Amino acid sequence: MKNNIKKTLQTTFGYSEFKPNQEEIITSILEGRDVFAAMPTGGGKSLCYQLPAMLLSGLTVVISPLIALMKDQVDAAVENGITAGFINSSLSYEDADNVFYLLKSGKLKLLYIAPERFAVEGFISRLQNINLSHISVDEAHCVSEWGHDFRPDYLLLSRLREYFPNIVISAFTATATIKVQSDIITQLKLKKPLRIRASFNRKELYYSIIRKSNANQQILEFIRDHSGDSGIVYRTTRKDVESTSAFLNKHGITSLPYHAGLADDERKRNQNLYKKDEVDIVVATIAFGMGIDKSNVRFIIHGDLPKSIESYYQETGRAGRDGELSYCLLLYSRGDTGKILYHIRNIEDEDEQIRARNNLSRMISYAETSVCRRKQLLSYFDEAYPGDCGMCDSCNDEVELVDGTVDAQKVLSAIKRVDERFGITYIIDIVRGANTVRIRQYGHDQLPTYGVGKGESKNYWHRVIDELLGQECISRDEDQYGILRITEKGKQILYGNKTFSVAKRYSTMKSKVTADYEQGNEALFDHLKKLRLLLAREKGLPPYMIFSDKTIREMCVKLPQSKNSFLAVNGVGQVKLESYGDDFLECIKEYSIKS
């Protein structure tokens, strides 16, 4: 069996080695054992059910909520030589009947379906009359009410074991706490499953946070620094999506908007143009991303604070799926919390509201604390990490701690002298000596602290207050219009019993980290990408389905000159060698002659 697995990995998928946990999962499925696997995005979970589908005698069914993604998944499987199809509401009756004909005749090895399909009368009995070997539940956190994206339709899957008592069932998720993991296993009635909890550490992702001052300008500057790369910019509101996209286009960066307010046709068009590398940038609400499996996304920008660590991890995880170095930038302002809290207050279920507040609190702590970003993210998923990752702003010489005791005392004194009854903006106005009607009405222009910080900008004082909040020297009462209160720790600083340090940040994200990733020749890389785009257009496929950026990078390093050496490149299987080998080898040879 082991030899067959390795051979299929090489000939079908073009890899000589498995990623962590893949071989154990595949072996268990082939031996008839249920599996639960929590694996990060980019961890290779699709191979864990696609490879067994090639070796099992019957059909493998993959249940996925991502209807928009199914065609892409099928196209990618077919590119590797796997006979695959899908059934969902996007198909006509005629097309669906054709898929059922292929199923009945045993011509399909892999079938993708949506969970809603189990509610369709007669569907289960049709599956029961097919030679079925394996059912795989993708995005399995949707089955748990504790999951971040619970889907009521997934509750239909709790009866899978009843309908198919002797079929192997596997469940995969890219995000799951221990509590959610146990609930998934219970809901799906997995029998003594192999439990895999892979590391959630995405080593190829570089995390950085910058204080938000002018979001559109900061986004523009970052994208210019990553010219030619494919990226997603997330904004919270439709209005911000439109304004950011328009701003980028005005300044020569072609981008497309994506949000629920657009017509269906426009949304699909914009998504397809992005998937097919016809445009590098999409600006979107969080509705974008779940329906796309684009492997060459090189950066994710959050222009606003996400509502939870889980959401942030899921959204940043859409970068670097091919394992290539990718960047995750968060623009942070405390003002974003008010918008999120407004929605939280409108949640009717009290327990859900408490859960949402706790999630936001952890997200704020992540953004405000100068501790290794990776350490904080992984701790959310109950995974210990020592820190000092070298792949985040906190660990990579981008943060310098400077003494800020005196400036902290200026802020704390202002808060105390106004009896802890005002919020951030008002306190900054006092410290900077702003001449406002409100300050004069209250007589606060007569305070000893009025104007003591006029030499610094508003942004500077925002950073000081963010640090005071992050280090729990002050608290912000969100239910009382965000008024600031001094904690016991803050009092120690105010009265000179403790010192206070401010993190001074430097944005040098393209730094020494690139040395860990073999780049090869950039000119050849650009030539091969253009060839990939041309071939993809001819076939009507997204370019990453031809070859990933990582595979092309390896071609630039190894410079294969024959079919055998081309086949030795990771990501080149037998079918892709036959389909694209001649074109790519010719391009590489031409480059080698010219250079």
Residue ranges of domains in the chain, CATH in brackets: 2-197 (3.40.50.300), 205-397 (3.40.50.300), 401-505 (1.10.10.10), 518-594 (1.10.150.80)
- Which residues make Cβ contacts (< 8 Å) with residue 141, sequence separation at least 6? 147, 148, 149, 150, 173, 175, 176, 180, 184
pLDDT of residue 337: 85
Q: How far apart are CA 368 and CA 247, in angstroms?
A: 28
- The structure tokens listed for 314 are 């899921």
- Which residues make Cβ contacts (< 8 Å) with residue 394, sequence separation at least 6? 370, 371, 372, 373
pLDDT of residue 231: 96
Q: What average pLDDT does this structure show over 317-324?
A: 92
Q: What average pLDDT does this structure show over 153-166?
A: 89
Of 94-98, 226-230, 378-382, 516-520, least confident by mean pLDDT is 516-520
Burial per residue of 453-487, b for 16 or more beta-carbon CB atoms within 10 angstroms, e otherwise: beeeeeebbbbbbbbbbbbebbebebeeebbbebe
Distance of CA 286 to the CA centre of its chain: 10
- Which residues make Cβ contacts (< 8 Å) with residue 540, sequence separation at least 6? none
pLDDT of residue 433: 96
CA proximity to 37, closest of 45, 28, 29: 45
pLDDT of residue 503: 67
- In the structure, what pLDDT confidence band is assigned to residue 136 with cuts at 50, 70 and 90? very high
- The structure tokens listed for 337 are 């919390």
Given a contact cutoff of 8 angstroms between Cβ atoms, the answer to whether 368 and 505 are in contact is: no
**Predicted confidence (pLDDT) at residue 439 exceeds the cutoff of 90:** yes
Higher pLDDT, 113 or 146: 113
SS3 527: helix
Q: What average pLDDT does this structure show over 276-301?
A: 86
Q: How far apart are CA 594 and CA 502, in angstroms?
A: 54
- The structure tokens listed for 492 are 């120690």
pLDDT of residue 444: 96
pLDDT of residue 65: 82
Q: How far apart are CA 479 and CA 482, in angstroms?
A: 7
SS3 24: helix
**Predicted confidence (pLDDT) at residue 595 exceeds the cutoff of 70:** no
**Predicted confidence (pLDDT) at residue 146 exceeds the cutoff of 80:** no
- In the structure, what pLDDT confidence band is assigned to residue 49 with cuts at 50, 70 and 90? very high
**Predicted confidence (pLDDT) at residue 520 exceeds the cutoff of 70:** no
Burial per residue of 389-414, b for 16 or more beta-carbon CB atoms within 10 angstroms, e otherwise: bebbbbbbebbeeeebeebbbbbbbb
Q: What average pLDDT does this structure show over 260-280?
A: 92
H helix or E strand, kind and range, residue 170: strand 168-173
CA dihedral 289, 225, 216, 293 (to 10 degrees): 0
Q: What average pLDDT does this structure show over 43-49?
A: 93
Q: Tell me the C-alpha to C-alpha distance, in Å, between residue 356 and each of 6, 35, 307, 311, 568.
A: 45, 31, 8, 12, 49
CA proximity to 10, closest of 57, 110, 80: 80
Higher pLDDT, 479 or 569: 569
Given a contact cutoff of 8 angstroms between Cβ atoms, the answer to whether 53 and 60 are in contact is: yes
- Which residues make Cβ contacts (< 8 Å) with residue 264, sequence separation at least 6? none
- The structure tokens listed for 218 are 């900061």
- In the structure, what pLDDT confidence band is assigned to residue 147 with cuts at 50, 70 and 90? low
H helix or E strand, kind and range, residue 220: helix 215-225
The residue behind tokens 């439990």 is 195
Q: Tell me the C-alpha to C-alpha distance, in Å, between residue 388 and each of 374, 376, 492.
A: 9, 12, 30
CA proximity to 41, closest of 379, 284, 320: 320
**Predicted confidence (pLDDT) at residue 509 exceeds the cutoff of 50:** no
pLDDT of residue 511: 47
- In the structure, what pLDDT confidence band is assigned to residue 211 with cuts at 50, 70 and 90? confident
Higher pLDDT, 400 or 390: 390
pLDDT of residue 108: 94
pLDDT of residue 150: 67
Cα-based angle 67, 205, 35 (whole degrees, multiple of 5) = 50
**Predicted confidence (pLDDT) at residue 390 exceeds the cutoff of 70:** yes
pLDDT of residue 41: 83
**Predicted confidence (pLDDT) at residue 171 exceeds the cutoff of 80:** yes
The residue behind tokens 């069932």 is 169
Given a contact cutoff of 8 angstroms between Cβ atoms, the answer to whether 133 and 58 are in contact is: yes
pLDDT of residue 143: 87
Mean of the per-residue pLDDT values of the chain:
89
